Structure formats: structure tokens, C-alpha cells
Amino acid sequence: MKRYLCSIIIGMVVILSIGTYYVKVASSASSLPKYTFKTLEGSDKELDPVIINASLQNSSNFYEPLTIESNTTTYESERSYLENLTGRQGHEIERLVKEHRSFMRGKDSISSLYEDDDFLAYAWVNSEYTKSGNMEAKFDIGLLEKKDEEETSFQIELPNQGRIMNADVRDVQLVHSKLQVLTMNDVNSNSEQTKEVHLYTIDIANKKVLSDKTLVSESFTYPDQVDFEMPIDVAPSMPNNMVFISLIKGVNHEDGSFEEKLKESKLLSYNYETEKLETVKKESLSLDMARSGYSDGKNLYAVEMKSGKYRIKTFDFSSQTLTNDKELDIAANKEDQYTAAFKNGRVYFLLNRMNQEGKTNKPAKLLIADIKTGKTLYKGETVMNKKNSKIFGLFIDDLEIK
Amino acid sequence: MMRYIKLVNFEINRFSKIYLSLLLITLVSQFAGVIIVTKSLLKDARDIMKEERLSEAAYITNYGSLDFNHIANTLLFVGPIALSAVALIFYIFLIWYRDWFGKNTFIYRLLMVPTSRLSIYLSKATAIFLMVLGLIAFQIIILPMQNALFNSNVPEALLNEMSISTITIANPILSLIIPSTFTQFLISYGAGLMIMSILFTSIMFERSFRIKGIIMGLLYCGIAAVLFLAPFFVMGFGNFHFYPNELFGLLLAIGIILTGLSVWLGAWLLKNRVTV
């Protein structure tokens, strides 16, 4: 026995120490505080489709990502290795992967996807930079006919790519069986900078780019600056007729600060059906509202804070008018940060106060209301199952609705 | 089976002197590191506070509090880990070649042992793997002690206490040797086993065919690498995309096959081709 002492000691130490360590790691994950929403008003059934991506942090180096789904908290460290390998994906992408696994390979950008009852389409600009610094770019195009699962995929050269430095797909639509791809491009030029919004029309049957239309082109030189913005798309893959583009002009000051020149900025709308590009009149929809708004293809919703209350304004695309303006039954505070989502005819409104050092954390509040009537359907706030977890702060990343 | 255990024990005993030295160096150097670096950190902090007339709270807001990361990034702490790693990687080769080039060509006796050659191959692999894990286990044992020592030496006002798991996540070298989850641990050390078996087999090639064998060994390593990375080549050049779990499954399967193949080929060479 004595001869084996060395090996036995090493073996024992290995098993005991490594074993204990990983048992402890596993058990410390389950000792993290769990958040749930305590119902203050309405039915907690409303919580079922709510997914909140957040993280638990403290002032030093503690960081634990978590998800509150259907009112249950799950930490990333509690998930299996394989689940974490796939990472955090939007539930929309997750659903599409489940339904069309083969077609969805390598397609993970929701704004590059278009889905209606019959088709699922995809467009992406695949770019590489050559040694001389030029961009070589191709469109990755995919179309799936849902009925017979027939896939078409091909690559075509991006037109006029010599002058383009970067192309970013922002919206994809299928109009009269032609693929419409809206991109924001940075253009190569010597002295000045140029940013453009392009609309490419692609004939899928003949694998051809039919047209390359420049919707907007803005050139500027430093310290001037121009940026294009689009409202947050709450239904990015759904068919819609209209897109809004805010054209924001500004100037960079010498001290490094940036000042927007809102008077020279404007709001544009483009209608895929009529192919008309228009400047939206301030009276019907303000630039401010469009920039901070959420679009679902039919309406644009904007959150406004006015005299201690939040209001939800609805702008209807087809009639081009404000159709609704409802007050939410939740107190507003400048220190609060809101995260909003619009789906199923409801507004989901999450308020969270960023915790400051030394202050106890306020619970996050969630309000679910009917967009049309403004009626509160649910109101609740987070509670922790552990009392001693005050040092932790809950940081909300985003709010998703199934 | 008993022969195999005896052989493992034999291999471990043969390396025990160097192994104990490695443990001792790690222990002394790391604890010295904790004490010395803590002292100099505190001295620097006090100097800055004096120079800039800062209170402890003001110092923390300007320069941040002191945490174990400061220690874990120093040479005294990381050095012995690197030394042990290098020593064991070196021993992957030495564990075979010392038998041929040692004082009294020991391989004669070893190959005469009435046991399957596979046991010899496996016992050497096990010995190295066990010693690697032993070093990791040792680090896991002394890390909480070092952390406690650090926490007791730094005044509470300047201290940012870290848990062991946070320390191992925050430090790149510690997170490499002590993965944050058990699954990751199995994957990392499984990959280590695969690489070791491939190296062993390359050594067997060299021992079997000498000069020609070196080329064959290198070729074998290259083929193994290409095979293992094949899914990535398919994704890069074949324009095909694997989902993460498919990619993981493929790599796992290829890894297991490669390890099995290497062990089988290595043992076969040892049995049929290795000459003394």
C-alpha cells in the first residue's frame, strides 16, 4: 500500500478538490435572487408572453445575465452548456429556426428577413475588403415557398460596389413578387463623406438586380454630420408598405460635443406600393416622435412624458394622421428609464430606476395597457425572493413579447 | 488492470521529485506574491493618498478599490502556473524518451513486462493527465487561502472582496486552467486529452521509423488538426452554416474519434513497430 501513497494522494486530492469546487459553483448559481412580478392590478395571465432580458450587477465585478420569461427568472449560469452555446436569440428568429431549420441556416438578422403567409425571404449584403481597401460585396438572397418548402438561394453582385464602403440592410419586403431591399450605404469619396439610402429591386426568378434607386443622398464635410435613423421596428419581418427615415443634421463642436440641428433635419417616408418618397409634414408627424417611435408597419407608436405622466401616441400610416393619444396609469420620474414594446394591441411598459451607489434599489414596474383605450390590463412590480440581495441592481437590456 | 495501476503509480513516482518541486514553487511563489504585492499596493495607495490628499473613499472613486485581480496578474502568481504547464508539456515527450535515453535503457525492461503494450501507453497518458489535474486541484485548494490572506491584509475601506469563482472568471490564465462550469471543464480537459494522445502517437511514429517517423508524426498532427477543424473549413469555404449545437456535436464526435484512433494507432505502433 505504501508504494501507492503518492498516486492515492493525488487521486483523492483531484477528486475532492475539483469535485467540491464545481459543486460549490453550481450551488452558488441557485443561491442568486429570483425576481418575480407581484400583481398590483389586473390579471397575471398578461405576463405570459413577456420576456425580459436583464442582468444582475453590483458595484464591483459581479455580472450575471438573466431572463425573466413568463414571470420566471432563469440565470444564464443555470442553463445548459448547449443552450448557452446558441446564445440569446430573439424569439422571432427562434421560431423561424424551429419552423424552417434548413432555410434559416446562417440567417440571424431579423431585419434581413421578410415573412408573409406564403413566403419567407432573406437579403443580406456579404462584404469583404480586399487588400487595397476596396469592398467586394454580394447580395445573399434566399426565398422559401412555404407551401412546398421550396428553397431558392443565390448570390448576386451588389451594383456599383466600387463606390460603396459599407452597406447595411435595414428592411426587406416582397412587393409584386420582387424583393425590395432597403440599405443604408456609406459611399467612398475623397474630401467629403456621403451617406445614402438605397432601394434595390431584385427579381428572384431571374436572379437579377432590376434597379438600384438612391432614395436619399447626403454629402457633408467635418465638422458637419448627417445621420439616418429609423423608428424601432417591432415587427421587423412582417410585410409593411411604408418606412420612415429621419435625416438628422448636426455639427461636431471643437470641444468634442455634438449638436443636432433639428431645424435643418427632416422626416421622410417611402411607400413601397406607390414608390413615392415624401417629406412628412411636421403637423402630421413630428420628427421627434418618429425618431423615438416604434413602428409595426401599420402604425407608429411614440412615448411621451408630459406633466408627470407617460402618454402613448398612435400615428396611422394609411391616413397619415395621429389617431390616438392615451395616458398611461403610471407615475413618471426623470430618474426612471423606460423600455417599451408594442404587440397584440397592447403596450408593454417597463420602468426601471438605475440604481445609484448607496441607494436601495426600487423595484422595476411593469404596466400592460390596451393601446386603443389606454386601459390598464396589468400592473405589477418586481419582488426578490432574497432579502439580503440589496447590493445587487437589476439592469434591463430589452423587453420582448412573444 | 492491476498491472496498469502499478504502471501508473510507477510513472507518478518517477516524476514525484520534480512534481513536488513544482507544487512547492507554486506554493511559495504565489504566497510570497500575495504578501509582497499586497504590501506594495498598499504602499502605493498610501503614497498617492498622501500626495494628493485624498481620503480613502476619494481614493477608491479615483483609482478604484484593491481586489485580488491585482495579485493574480503578477508574475509571482502566474509564473509558477506557466512553469508547471511548460514542465508537463515537456514531460509528454520526456515520459517516453527518458526510457530510451535514460541511464540504463529502461524501455527494454518495460517492453518485457508481461502485459499488453496498450497498458504502457495508457499508463503514461494517465500519469500525465492525473498530474495536470493534481496541479489544478492544488491551485483550487490554495486559492481560497490566498484570497483570505489578501482580504485580511487589506484594510476594509480599500478592499473589494471577490469570491473564488469571480477571481477565476476575471483572470484570463486562471479561467483557462479552472473553467467556470463543469461542462466547460470536461470539454477543456477532454480537448487536452485528445491533443496529448495525438502527440503520443506522433512520438510512437518517431520511435518506430526514426527520421522518417518525424515526418510521419508531423504529418499525423497536421491531418488530425485538419480533420478536427474540418467543420470550420466547410463553413468558411463550403458556404454552409452549422447551427452552434450541430457544430458542437460534430466537434465532439470528431474529437472522440480522433482520440480513439490516436490511442489505437499509438498502441499498435508500440506493439508492432517500435524497436529498441
This model of the complex carries an ipTM of: 0.91
In chain B, what residues touch A4 (CB-CB under 8 Å)? 5, 9
Please judge whether A17 and B131 are an interchain contact, meaning their C-beta atoms are less than 8 angstroms apart: no
Same domain, A233 and A375: no
Task: Name which of B126, B189, B241, B247 to mutate to probe chain A: the one with the most chain A Cβ atoms within 10 A of its Cβ.
Answer: B241
In chain B, what residues touch A97 (CB-CB under 8 Å)? 243
Domain-terminating residue out of A219, A254, A285? A285
State the smallest CA–CA distance between residue A104 and chain B in angstroms: 9
- Cβ neighbours of residue B61 under 8 Å, at least 6 residues apart? none
Residue A390: what pLDDT?
57
Same domain, A308 and A399: yes
In chain A, what residues touch B154 (CB-CB under 8 Å)? none
Angle between helices B56-63 and B2-52 (to 10 degrees): 120
Q: What pTM did the predictor assign?
A: 0.85
Same domain, A27 and A38: no
Q: Residue B220: helix, strand or coil by DSSP? A: helix
Same domain, A245 and A177: yes
Instruction: State whether the Cα torsion B244-B249-B254-B260 is positive or negative.
Output: positive
Choose among B178, B182, B241: nearest Cβ to A105. B241
Please judge whether B182 and A106 are an interchain contact, meaning their C-beta atoms are less than 8 angstroms apart: no
Which helix (H) or strand (E) element contains residue A330? strand A321-331
Alpha-carbon distances, residue B188 vs A227, B179, B192 (angstroms) = 46, 8, 6
Residue A61: what pLDDT?
66
CA–CA gap between residue B128 and residue B92 (Å, rounded): 7
Residue A348: what pLDDT?
93
Same domain, A237 and A375: no
Domain boundaries, chain B: 1-176, 179-276
> Above pLDDT 70, what percent of chain B?
100
Same domain, A66 and A125: no
Same domain, A224 and A324: no
Same domain, A234 and A113: yes
Residue A127: what pLDDT?
86
Chain B residues with at least one Cβ partner in A under 8 Å? 5, 8-9, 12-13, 16, 65, 67, 69, 130-131, 133-134, 136-138, 140-141, 160, 162-166, 170, 178, 180-185, 187, 240-245, 248
> Please, are residues A35 and A382 in contact by the beta-carbon 8 Å criterion?
yes
Whether A176 is in a domain gets the answer yes
Same domain, A182 and A123: yes
Which is nearest to B100 in space by CA: B206, B173, B25, B24? B206
Residue A132: what pLDDT?
78
Q: Is A186 exposed, middle or buried (0-12, 13-18, 19+ CB in 10 A)?
A: middle
Residue A358: what pLDDT?
44
Same domain, A239 and A131: yes
Chain A residues with at least one Cβ partner in B under 8 Å? 3-4, 6-7, 10-11, 13-14, 16-18, 21-22, 24-26, 28, 60-62, 77, 80-82, 85-87, 97, 101, 105-106
CA–CA gap between residue B231 and residue B246 (Å, rounded): 10
Whether A291 is in a domain gets the answer no
- Cβ neighbours of residue B78 under 8 Å, at least 6 residues apart? B72, B173
Whether A136 is in a domain gets the answer yes
CA–CA gap between residue A306 and residue A312 (Å, rounded): 11
Which helix (H) or strand (E) element contains residue B122? helix B117-153
pLDDT tens sequence across B207-258: 999 999 999 999 999 999 999 999 999 998 877 899 999 999 999 999 999 9
Whether A290 is in a domain gets the answer no
Low-confidence residues in chain B, pLDDT < 50 = none
> Please, are residues A302 and A246 in contact by the beta-carbon 8 Å criterion?
no
Q: What tens-digit pLDDT sequence spans chain A (402 residues)?
A: 677 888 899 999 999 999 999 999 888 777 788 889 999 988 889 899 999 999 888 766 678 889 999 889 998 888 888 888 887 788 889 999 999 999 999 888 898 999 999 999 999 998 888 887 778 889 999 999 999 889 999 999 998 888 888 899 999 999 988 999 999 999 877 788 899 999 999 999 999 999 999 999 999 988 888 999 998 888 888 898 889 999 999 999 888 888 888 888 889 889 988 888 988 888 778 888 888 889 988 889 998 888 888 989 999 888 888 888 888 888 887 778 888 999 988 999 998 876 555 455 678 889 999 988 888 999 998 888 876 555 677 888 889 998
Closest residue of A to B11, CA-based?
Answer: A7
Domain-terminating residue out of A225, A257, A285? A285
Same domain, A253 and A132: yes
Q: Is A106 exposed, middle or buried (0-12, 13-18, 19+ CB in 10 A)?
A: middle
* Domain enclosing residue A367, as ranges: 33-86+298-402
Same domain, A77 and A97: no
Whether A225 is in a domain gets the answer yes
Residue A364: what pLDDT?
87
Overall number of domains in chain A: 3
